[in-house]
Structure 1
């Protein structure tokens, strides 16, 4: 019972983080490993557990799903689904050891892009013609990453989108939530069909994530864009440092 309560609490925090800024899997994945799950099963179970919270947040954000300049929403959703499928299959077929080493550098790149996003984005848009093919190609890669592991994928999406559009982070949050949830949905179906999800632990985590996703989405709608960006940067920096420590300093 103590383990289930711990998992529900981790789900509450992770769901709220995902709704507000992203990075909830950094809370839920260690919680599942602490509950005794092997790392690959914990990864799959974390994705399954956070999915209901993502759906809840996407529903709360549904009123903000307007067309964002520079982001073709419907085609981006399609390639995100395809990427999520590829990423999920990649997790099934390949070991995660190498990816554990690469992940901190991906998070570092996302953090730097978030820091420099508005300034760097305006310069990129003024000097380089970013076409539809480029946007969709980047989104496919992000969808693949989301299906494979997904840690910080929401932050990475916002970092990439800041190079394509001048819209602020708060305006992009609804689209981000839908894209992340779409990639997770495909991955969850694959993991469930292949028996990779530990359902008892996932249900406890998922119930907390649904509550956290609902509360976090309502909070995100009311907070100023500058504060949301600041929170995201704190989460991104913290995740990057901790993932470097996990990859290179722990034995």
Structure 2
């Protein structure tokens, strides 16, 4: 690895860490960055996931203010996505790379749409607490979080966006707190997936070092940005960036 590629990966990691901890879209930057230096898609994905563990550490540390007093709720939500993450990471190791490349654009497109839709609900004050919600609706939300966890383990790009959308539609907490929940949930799903990938020897650990360093820096800064920057504009810009990434990967996969 040359010095400039090392620096390039740190920069991609910082931008990716910011996007991960702000809206769950790290792979909008980091995944294409890995493809550009010639890393195959599946290896790029699992290497990106390993790097995202550092983003999760940074974001969770920086979100301690928002997480205060929310330990029980966060633990329960995280357990659901963690179970899904184990399933998703196993599926990725079983399914061929061609399948992986062809489904990813649609996941990212869906995530962008969900981000825009959930944004309209971000300022709602009438969402009841989980224990007061309809049981059927709760079951659907649990299934949704499990499936998102599976997707996060399978690919991860924009998985945090989908988690954030479900949380925004389900919980009355303010956006910064929900974003902190998302950071913890995605962090744990990525950590478990990385352990599974490591046993398969598919992670490019040499790339993880500079990428993860950047992720750690960006992940720590993200929650600070969320506290001070207008959220609506941020969500809109990132959603349209997700549409752009989905279109780019769709062209690559089908043409």
TM normalised by structure 2 equals 0.84
The match for 2:39 among 28, 33, 37 is 37
Give the distance between the partners of 1:48 and 1:158, measured in 2 at CA: 21
Give the distance between the partners of 1:48 and 1:118, measured in 2 at CA: 29
In the other structure, the counterpart of 2:103 is 102
Helix, strand or coil: the match of 2:208?
A: helix
Deviation per residue, 1:188-238 (Å, 9 max, x gap): 111112211111111011111111112222212222333333343333333
- Using a 3 Å threshold, how does the CA distance of structure 1 residues 212 and 181 change in structure 2: closer, same or farther? same
- The equivalences for 1:171-210 within 5 A come to 171-210=177-216
| Alignment partner of 1:161 is 2:161 | no
Aligned-pair CA distance for 1:72: 4.8
Give the distance between the partners of 1:171 and 1:29, measured in 2 at CA: 27
Structure 1 contact 170–225 (Cα < 8 Å) conserved:
no
Give the distance between the partners of 1:16 and 1:120, measured in 2 at CA: 23
Structure 1, unaligned stretches of length 5 or more?
Answer: none
Instruction: Tell me the C-alpha RMSD between the 2 structures.
Output: 2.6
Structure 2, unaligned stretches of length 5 or more?
Answer: none
Give the distance between the partners of 2:221 and 2:116, measured in 1 at CA: 26
The match for 2:251 among 229, 245, 249 is 245
Runs of 4+ displaced beyond 6 Å: none
In the other structure, the counterpart of 2:84 is 83
Structure 1 contact 43–149 (Cα < 8 Å) conserved:
yes
- Using a 3 Å threshold, how does the CA distance of structure 1 residues 119 and 212 change in structure 2: closer, same or farther? closer
Aligned-pair CA distance for 1:118: 5.4
Aligned-pair CA distance for 1:98: 2.2
Structure 1 contact 142–157 (Cα < 8 Å) conserved:
yes
Aligned-pair CA distance for 1:166: 4.8
Deviation per residue, 1:8-57 (Å, 9 max, x gap): 11111111111122211232122223333222111111111121122111
Question: Which segment is superposed worse, 31-40 or 135-144?
Answer: 31-40
Structure 1 contact 5–204 (Cα < 8 Å) conserved:
yes
Aligned-pair CA distance for 1:67: 7.3
Number of residue pairs matched by the alignment = 244
Deviation per residue, 1:82-101 (Å, 9 max, x gap): 11111111111111322322
Give the distance between the partners of 1:119 and 1:57, measured in 2 at CA: 25
Give the distance between the partners of 2:90 and 2:69, measured in 1 at CA: 31
In the other structure, the counterpart of 1:57 is 59
